[in-house]
Structure 1
Amino acid sequence: MSQINPGSQPPNRLPQTIGFLLLDNFTLISLASAVEPLRMANQLSGKELYRWFTVTQSGEPVSASDGLQITPDASFESAPSLDSIIVCGGVDIQHSVTREHLHWLQTQARHGRQLGAVCTGSWALAKAGLLDGYDCSVHWECLAAMQEAFPRTSVTPRLFSIDRNRHTASGGTAPMDLMLQLIGARHGRELAAAISDMFMYERIRSEQDLQRVPLKHMLGTNQPKLLEIVALMEANLEELIDLDELACYVSVSRRQLERLFQKYLHCSPSRYYLKLRLIRARQLLKQTPMSIIEVASVCGFVSTPHFSKCYREFFGIPPRDERSGQQSAQVVALIPRPGEANRNPATVAALQRAQGESTFASVRI
């Protein structure tokens, strides 16, 4: 049965061996999002491109944040030779990192290992001094704390960051985007796209995609009127609400409304409203087949030229380039789209083979 050719191999030895360091209360979804693309890369390529192990300090079982206990493959002392280590963090990260963790990570860095982290695991790398001078991503709940605690680390709100030999991702499914980027760079974008299709992952997000940080987290609960105004804006992106009407809805004056936005969101209400509409437009351009005219209309723009002008000013590229760039990034669809039948028979054959296996879409931990 045909499989996907992983492309020309770099000089690195195969398989690449990855150790997942599990900290207390790590998030299971982030671990699975990082591991599963590796499993599928092996399955679709028909080769052992990756090998992975779970590691804890003592080798004793560790509990995930959902209460499930995982028995690791190895302790620090018994861990096999690794090419890279990914720290899996979760709840209460500041109290989950021990001196032994920091010492082991520093030792691995001295041996030239690639280092990464998912969810809040970046805290451990930064605490060990291993992210000084690097960009890194972390779950939005930990953003402010890391920026305050580690000023020499460039903490970004991006979904994931790849900075030289440091690979970090925020929580949830963002580790899957990170791993698909790394797999694509190492073994070809065709394989990464096929893995994405296997998991019904509609779009591989890029390093430029940002986390959606809830406004309530940024403002706390002290500004209920501002939160209510933003909620009204988000619910009315096609049929815009006049700013005077918004002010009236929450019983403030237009002047008070302006002051609230300037003080807490550092822009005017109209600018913030425009930003919400443009972000929505970008999602539609990337994730739907809607025409640019349709996207402009449902995002509250009265004309396509005005929409294109605003879009270019905000994102730096016109909508048509956003759309064409998104299409070119999707090199392969595992199931042929209309007009693409027979384009990649090897990919289709690999999907059919994989779906018949008992391990299809399972989690190997």
Structure 2
Amino acid sequence: MNRAQYGAITEGAEREIGFYLSDNFSMLPFISAVEPLRIANRMSRKPLYQWSIVTENGDSVFATNGMELAAKYAVKNAPDFSMIFVNGPHEPKNFNHRPTLNWLAGQSKRGIVIGGIETGCHILAESGLLDGIQCTTHWENQVEFVEAFPKHKVSSDVYEIDGNRVTCSGGAVSMDMMLYIIEQHHGHELAASVADVMIHPNICHPGEPQRMNVQARTGVSHPALLECIELMEANIEQPLSPNELARLVEISKRQLERLFRRYLNTTPARYYLNMRLDAARKMLETSAMKIIDVTVACGFKSAGHFSSRSYSSYGVTPRDSRKI
């Protein structure tokens, strides 16, 4: 079947983009990056982009949702692409394929755009391609990234473009990143048309934060309560006391407790504890940090204290949580 009528170009395009996929990659950011290219071809009625999947050995790879994708190339026989985007594995700490790292380092010498999507940013950093570069990665993976690459300049923005390096936090934001690239190549009108077809009226731009603001995430509108939650999120490692929180938002401790009961049906202490436990669980699931380091990073007095709190809330200890 000829799929060129839908924009799926297989040869003769102006640019061929290589997507390197690791086993256990995330499907959403990959699809979100590919579809704008296909639609750009269809809307322009020109073969602007074609894309190929590259894997370690040319074998198929599985996404975290269980779907399997076939590769066109192995690293050792991949052609010279116009651009390369790397989608890393769910647990980037396990990635150690030296031929891939060498391939990326070699391709960078050609001066082409090389991008990291979600944990693909870890692979780019491991290849030495983010030295001195302003970059980003998914907020769930930032702690592990900073631990592994403490000298790198990491933001919490949706995506970063620094010279010929592109790093994207992942998820659906890959769509916004690719729309930006299409605009740079072929103008605003085409990029806007592609966004319109995808029913994507609110395009994210570089510099925008990854996460929704506190009001959108919690449904809370009271300004003092919002400010208090923001303070909690900014002080996970060294938690503030209820008295300190009340003083900083300029209300009494009693008023603060009433606000939490009224809007969130909990106490400030319980809300703060759950926030820290949730942050710790994400660190355990997405990083290789030692449990004692997670304990300190999330403001618990001791590993025993952390373990007992975790068990009370989730029914598992931190050590058991890492095995799940």
TM range (shorter): 0.5 to 0.7
Amino acid across the alignment from 2:40: A
Aligned to 2:221: 237
SS at match of 2:30: helix
Residue-by-residue CA offset, 1:135-191 (whole Å, 9 max, x unaligned)? 112111111121222133211100001111001111210111100011111111111
TM-score (norm 1): 0.58
Q: Which moved more, 1:104-113 or 1:173-182?
A: 104-113
Structure 1 residues 240 and 23: CA distance shift in structure 2, 3 A: same
Structure 1 residues not aligned, in runs of 5+: 1-12, 215-229, 245-254, 263-267, 272-365
Q: Are the equivalent residues in 1 in contact too, given 2:137–2:170 (CA < 8 A)?
A: yes
Distance 2:192 2:216 in 1: 37
Aligned to 1:175: 174
Aligned to 1:152: 151
SS at match of 2:77: coil
1:269 correspondence with 2:249? yes
SS at match of 1:87: strand
Aligned to 2:189: 190
Q: Percent identity?
A: 36
Structure 1 residues 112 and 241: CA distance shift in structure 2, 3 A: closer
Q: Which moved more, 1:203-212 or 1:106-115?
A: 106-115
Q: How many residues align?
A: 229
Distance 1:94 1:115 in 2: 21
Q: Are the equivalent residues in 2 in contact too, given 1:34–1:179 (CA < 8 A)?
A: yes
Higher RCO (CA-CA < 8 Å; seq separation 6+): 1
Q: CA deviation at 1:98?
A: 1.4
Structure 1 residues 34 and 203: CA distance shift in structure 2, 3 A: same
Amino acid across the alignment from 1:22: L
1:72 correspondence with 2:52? no
Distance 1:243 1:39 in 2: 43
Aligned to 1:94: 93
Q: Are the equivalent residues in 1 in contact too, given 2:220–2:226 (CA < 8 A)?
A: no
Distance 1:95 1:195 in 2: 36
Residue-by-residue CA offset, 1:16-64 (whole Å, 9 max, x unaligned)? 1110000121001110000000001111001011111000111011111
1:161 correspondence with 2:155? no
Q: Are the equivalent residues in 2 in contact too, given 1:63–1:69 (CA < 8 A)?
A: yes
TM-score (norm 2): 0.65
Q: CA deviation at 1:117?
A: 1.1
Distance 2:220 2:57 in 1: 54
Q: Are the equivalent residues in 2 in contact too, given 1:257–1:269 (CA < 8 A)?
A: no
Q: Within 5 A, what are the aligned runs for 1:314-353? A: none
Distance 1:190 1:94 in 2: 41
Q: Are the equivalent residues in 2 in contact too, given 1:233–1:241 (CA < 8 A)?
A: no
Q: CA deviation at 1:78?
A: 2.6
Structure 1 residues 261 and 97: CA distance shift in structure 2, 3 A: farther
Residue-by-residue CA offset, 1:210-252 (whole Å, 9 max, x unaligned)? 11189xxxxxxxxxxxxxxx889943316876999xxxxxxxx
1:257 correspondence with 2:242? yes
1:130 correspondence with 2:110? no
SS at match of 2:73: coil
SS at match of 1:111: coil
Amino acid across the alignment from 1:69: E
Aligned to 1:16: 15
Q: CA deviation at 1:129?
A: 0.8
Distance 1:138 1:239 in 2: 30
Amino acid across the alignment from 2:110: H
